[in-house]
Amino acid sequence: MWTAAVLTFVALMLSPPERVGGRVSSSLRLQLPHGGWLVGRHLSSHNGRHMRAFMGVPYALPPVGELRFKSPVPQPGWEGERLAVKDAAICMQRDPFRRDMLIEGSEDCLYLNVYTPEIERLNGASLPVMVWFHGGGWECGSGISGFYGPDFLLDHDIVLVSANFRLGPLGFLSTETLDCPGNNGLKDQLEVLRWVQNNIAIFGGSPSNVTVFGESAGGASVTYHMLSDKSRGLMQRGIAQSGTYFNPWAQPAHKGVAARRAEKLTQLVGCDQAGEDWTSKIECLRKRSAQDIVATVYDMFVWDFDPMIPFPPVVEPEHSEAFLSVAPRKASTPHGFDLPLLIGATAEEGILKTAALLNLPHLLDDFKTNFGKVLPIVLNYDHHAGELQQKITESIEQFYFKSGHDYNRTNHQNLTNVGWRINVSRKSYEKHVYSFQLISDGWFIAGIDEYLRLRMAAGKAPTYVYLFDHKGAASFSEIFKGGHDDYYGACHAEELQYLFPIGRELFVSAVPTQQDLELRQLMLNMWINFARTGNPNIAKNSSDLPTWQPATSYPVEYMRIGTKRDAHEERHPLLRWEAALLQQRANFWHNLKPHLPAGQCPHKGTHNEL
C-alpha cells in the first residue's frame, strides 16, 4: 500500500519539451494513431539488453481548472514531434509515512511510460503487455522509472507500461452526488487501459494480450478492474499482489463517510460558506490551490495515520461514467472471474504499521492504553455501533492477545510477526508458527482470503496463489520506521525489489545475496510466463522446482516463495508447494460474521465488513 511512500529518495523531473530537432534513430521515432510523433530514448536492461523507452507520454488532458474532480478527458493528440525521454512529474501528494509536512508533485500528472525491446528483437511479433499500477494507498506513489523502472522486466520480451493516476482528495474526493461522484483515480487507470488498446500495437505490444498487475492499492485496483464493467475486455489476466477490494482499507467507504470527509475538506479550505449545495462548494474547491486541498489529508486522520486511507474508492450514484455503482459484496459474479489471476501476500504484511508502533515508544504506549478505542479505527470497523465494535474487539483480543499486551520490539509476534524458529534434523526444515499477526491479518490476509473463497466458489478460471516469505539483504521494514538492525520478517512490499530495481534508490548499502539473485530470476520468470500464457510455471531444467498448480478448491494450495535461511546455512528450496494458506488465522476472520446484524453479509460464505 505504501510501497511508494519513499519518493523523497527519487528525484522529481519535469515534463520534457514537446518538440525535438537533430538526428534521431528511426527505431526511437514512432507515429501514434492520432498522427503525432513520439521520440523516445535508448536504455539498457539490467543484463545489458537494448530497449526503447517512451517516457512522459500524456494519456489524458491535465485535470486542472474545470477538469478538477472530473473523469479524465482522453488526450486528443498533437501535431509534429513530442520528446518522450524523461519522467513526467508525479501526481500531487502528501505521504503520511514520512510524518512530515512535505507536499510534492503536480496536478498536471496524467502521463505514462512505455518500455519495449529494441525493434530488431521484435521481428514483426506482437509482445505480451504488462501494465503496472503502483501502490501507495491511492494516496502517494507514482509510476516513474526511478522507482518502478524496466531494468529487470525488460530482460525479457514484453512491453511494460507504468502510469501515474490521481491520488488522495484530487483523485478520490466524493460528495456521493453527481457533483463529484468520485473514483477519478480509478477512472484514470481505466483511461490508461483504453490508451493501451488504442496505441500499444505501435510499440510492438499486443492489445489482446494485456496483463494488469499491481501491489497493495495497485493490487486492489487490479481486482476493481476485474469487477467494473467499464474495464471488461481491456485485460486478459491480472496479478494482484497484497491487495483486493475486500481489504478493509480498499473497500468502498460506507454511505455518508465520503460526504462527511468532503464537507470537512470544504471547511478546512474555506469553501463551506460558498453555498448550501454541493455544486457551489465544488466550484469553490476548483478555485483553491491544489496544495491546500492535498494538505487536508493529515486532518482526516483520527489516530496516528489512521484510518489508513481517508479517501478510498466509493459506490457512485448511477451515471454514464460510473466506474463502480454497486458495492463489491452486492455485485454479481465479476467478469474478472473468467480471467486467469495470480494473487498473494507477504508473510509479515503488517510490519507496514507495526514497525512504527514498535520503534516509536509513545505511539506503542498509546496503542496499548487505548486499545479498545484505537483498534476499530486502525482496522476500519469504527462505523459499527459501539456495542458491536466492542464485541469485535473482544474477539480479536482473545484470539491474538491471550497473554495480554506484553509486546515490544523483542516480543512483537502476536502484534505483527510470525514467530519462527528453525530446527535442522535429517536435512529437514520445520517452521513453527507459535503466534499470530493481527495487523497482517486484519489489513491484508482476511480480505485476500475472502476474495479467494468467492473465486474458488465460482470455479471459472485458473487462480495461482503465493505467499512471499523471504529474508533478503534489505527489507522494506527499514522504510516503515523499522530501523536497519532488527529483522521483523517479510514486510509488505518486500517482493517488489525482485521485480523492479528499487534497491538502486532505497537500499544502496545492501548487497544482494546469491539467494536473492536466484529468487529474482525465479520471480521474474514466473511473472513473465504468467503474462505470456496465464501459467507461471518455468520450464524445468532440474527436478527441484515444484509445479505451481492453480488452486481449484478451498482451502487453497499455494506456492511459498523464498526462504528465511541465511545464505551460509544449509541450502533450502526457494519454492515450496503447500496447502491451506494461513488457514487458522483466515478462519478466525471469516467466523467474525456472526457478530454482524442480519443483512450485512450478502454473499454466503463471506465474513464481515471490517
349 is catalytic: yes
Give bridge partners of residue 425 from the DSSP assignment: 428
Q: Is the pLDDT of residue 600 over 80?
A: no
Whether residue 332 is found in the same domain as residue 359 = no
Helix 371-378 with 361-369: angle, nearest 10 deg:
100
Domain boundary among 288, 322, 339: 339
Q: Could you give the percent of the chain with pLDDT greater than 90?
A: 72
CA distance 137 to 460: 30
Q: How far is CA 507 from the centre of its chain?
A: 21
* 23 found inside a domain: no
Q: Is the pLDDT of residue 411 over 50?
A: no
Question: Checking DSSP bridges between strand 159-163 and strand 111-117, what pairing results, if any?
Answer: antiparallel
* Number of domains comprising the chain: 2
User: DSSP letters of 318-381?
Assistant: S-TT-S--S-GGGS-S-GGGGS-EEEEEETBTTHHHHHHHHH-HHHHHHHHHTHHHHHHHHTT-
Please report the beta strands in 494-551, taking only residues with DSSP state E, as ranges in sequence order: none
Give the number of other Cβ atoms within 10 Å of residue 208's Cβ. 12
User: DSSP letters of 481-507?
Assistant: TT-SS----SBTTGGGGGTS-THHHH-
Confidence band of 407 (pLDDT split at 50, 70, 90): low
Q: How far is CA 137 from the centre of its chain?
A: 7
208 is catalytic: no
Q: Encode pLDDT of 19-35 as tens digits.
A: 445 567 888 999 999 99
* Phi and psi angles of residue 47, each rounded to the nearest 5 degrees, phi first: -95, 10
Under 8 Å between Cβ of 444 and 493 = no
Whether residue 444 is found in the same domain as residue 311 = no
Q: Encode pLDDT of 426-460 as tens digits.
A: 222 222 222 338 999 999 999 999 999 999 999 99
Domain boundary among 304, 339, 374: 339
Higher-confidence residue of 229 and 7: namely 229
In the block, residue with C-alpha cell 507496514? 352
Q: Is the pLDDT of residue 408 over 80?
A: no
- Write down the catalytic residue from 118, 349, 450, 609: 349
* 463 found inside a domain: yes
Query: Is 164 in a helix, a strand, or coil?
Result: coil
Query: Is 212 in a helix, a strand, or coil?
Result: strand
* Phi and psi angles of residue 165, each rounded to the nearest 5 degrees, phi first: -150, 155
CA distance 560 to 579: 10
Lowest mean pLDDT among 106-115, 403-412, 511-520: 403-412
- We report the CATH number of the domain holding residue 385 as 3.40.50.1820
CA distances in angstroms from 274 to 277, 292, 461, listed in the order given: 8, 16, 51
Whether residue 392 is found in the same domain as residue 317 = no
Give the number of other Cβ atoms within 10 Å of residue 9's Cβ. 13
CA distance 311 to 69: 13
Q: What pTM, to 2 d.p., does this model score?
A: 0.91
Provide the greatest CA pair distance for the chain: 76
Give bridge partners of residue 465 from the DSSP assignment: 343
Query: Is 289 in a helix, a strand, or coil?
Result: coil
- Write down the catalytic residue from 71, 162, 174, 216: 216
- Write down the catalytic residue from 470, 492, 595, 607: 492
Helix 217-225 with 184-199: angle, nearest 10 deg:
70
Whether residue 411 is found in the same domain as residue 329 = no
* 391 found inside a domain: yes
Whether residue 385 is found in the same domain as residue 522 = yes
* 41 found inside a domain: no
Give the number of other Cβ atoms within 10 Å of residue 167's Cβ. 32
Whether residue 217 is found in the same domain as residue 321 = yes
Whether residue 323 is found in the same domain as residue 355 = no
Q: How far is CA 492 from the centre of its chain?
A: 10
Q: Is the pLDDT of residue 237 over 60?
A: yes
Query: Is 579 in a helix, a strand, or coil?
Result: strand
CA distance 196 to 112: 10
* 294 found inside a domain: yes
Confidence band of 329 (pLDDT split at 50, 70, 90): very high
Q: What is the mean pLDDT of residues 478-499?
A: 82
* 11 found inside a domain: no
* 460 found inside a domain: yes
Q: What is the mean pLDDT of residues 56-82?
A: 98
Whether residue 312 is found in the same domain as residue 370 = no
Lowest mean pLDDT among 3-12, 66-75, 345-354: 3-12
CA distances in angstroms from 186 to 104, 205, 323, 477, listed in the order given: 21, 23, 8, 28
Amino acid 265: pLDDT: 98
Whether residue 276 is found in the same domain as residue 293 = yes
Q: Encode pLDDT of 202-218 as tens digits.
A: 999 999 999 999 999 99
Whether residue 391 is found in the same domain as residue 531 = yes
Amino acid 557: pLDDT: 97
Lowest mean pLDDT among 230-239, 361-370, 405-414, 507-516: 405-414
Q: Is the pLDDT of residue 73 over 90?
A: yes
104 is catalytic: no
| Owning domain of residue 351 | 346-421+433-592
* Average pLDDT of the chain, as a whole number: 87
* 496 found inside a domain: yes
Q: What is the mean pLDDT of residues 170-179?
A: 98
Whether residue 304 is found in the same domain as residue 370 = no
Whether residue 529 is found in the same domain as residue 488 = yes
